[in-house]
Amino acid sequence: MVSYQKRGKVWQYEISYKDTDGKYKKFRKSGFKLKSDAVLAASEVQIKQPLFSRYNTANQTLAIYFDNWIMLYKQNYVSNITYMKYQNTAKHIRQYFGNIKLKDLNKDIYQERINLFSQTHAKRTVSCFHKHIRAALLDALDEGIINKDPTRKAVVTGKNYHAAQKFLNYADWKKLINKLDCNKTGELMIYLAALTGMRYGEIAGLTPNHINYEDSTIKVDRTWDYKYRTGFKKTKNKSSRRKIPIDNHTLNLLDIYINTNHIKEDELIFEHNGQIYYSAQINNILTNKLKELHLPRITFHGLRHTHASILLYQGVSILSVSKRLGHSNTTTTQSTYLHIIKELENKDNDQILSILNNSF
């Protein structure tokens, strides 16, 4: 707050302010022949004086400060994906810290909000959230905007999610694929993952011209960045560029869905309401469906494991499974499904002994 007084023949300005400890102080200067000169000088000193600018910054909310901080220090210096992670943190700050100002943020308030955030988020997510805020506030501390670090020794916890089973057995897999409503975008994506073993990004990047009805195959030559919305990306490796043979029933389901929704040749098949599902969204759809069918919980990626496991149990060679999944070599497939291979080896040994015993 600025006030002006005439003292004799000259004018004086007086600036009232709080320091970073919240104590009221005053800054005065006189000797101006005209009041307009005093007004101009007061305006200049408010802009140039670090103490006043720090106070003004400390009066900002944490949300506004963090928005400005990432724009200044992150936007042009980190990848688009990393910057989107900072933007996601900014969104959570607005939700959990609201209008709390920097000067009012202390350890108790910070811990309280982190605890609230941790009630609905995994520890890894909470840790990233805390890390981003702490980096910004340490800069504020260095600049003298705040005089204490409210994030120091903060306790980071998170929600304990029960680990999902890695894959379904054959009976549960059959029950799932026969109960899916393939007229629904999410459930058709689940069906396709269960029948092909494709990764989610590979399915999300499909267009009608990737489906060859003559040789009954799906062509995989790119993936869609469904998480950060950066567009199409290269496949995970060279071997991931492949053609996957599919059955006639699956071809028919895809054809019906494409025609019903009037999807053009170069349009994304699984774009829903103008966007592709995030990984969390598709996993929620799968979780709800499994719960409805009283089946064990697996992740969407678990459908890929399920597909591979079933093929191996049914006697499909490790080489064919490896090619279908798009692994760079069979070593990757063997290491991923070692437990199944060992079970099959024991079964083969029993069969070998049975053959030998019946030879005499």
For position 341, what pLDDT does the model report?
74
Confirm if 176 and 88 have CB atoms less than 8 A apart.
no
Q: Name residues whose C-beta falls within 8 Å of residue 207's C-beta, 6 or more positions apart in sequence.
A: 263, 265, 266, 267, 268, 269
Token digits for 323? 């090619």
- Write the pLDDT tens digit of every residue in 162-207: 555 688 989 999 999 999 999 999 999 999 999 999 999 999 999 9
Q: How many residues does the chain have?
A: 360
- Local confidence band at 349 (pLDDT 50, 70, 90 cut-offs): confident
For position 48, what pLDDT does the model report?
59
- Local confidence band at 70 (pLDDT 50, 70, 90 cut-offs): very high
pTM above 0.75, yes or no: no
- Write the pLDDT tens digit of every residue in 79-113: 777 888 899 999 999 999 999 999 999 999 999 99
Considering only residues 54 and 328, tell me which one the structure prediction assigns the higher pLDDT. Answer: 328
CA distance 73 to 38: 36
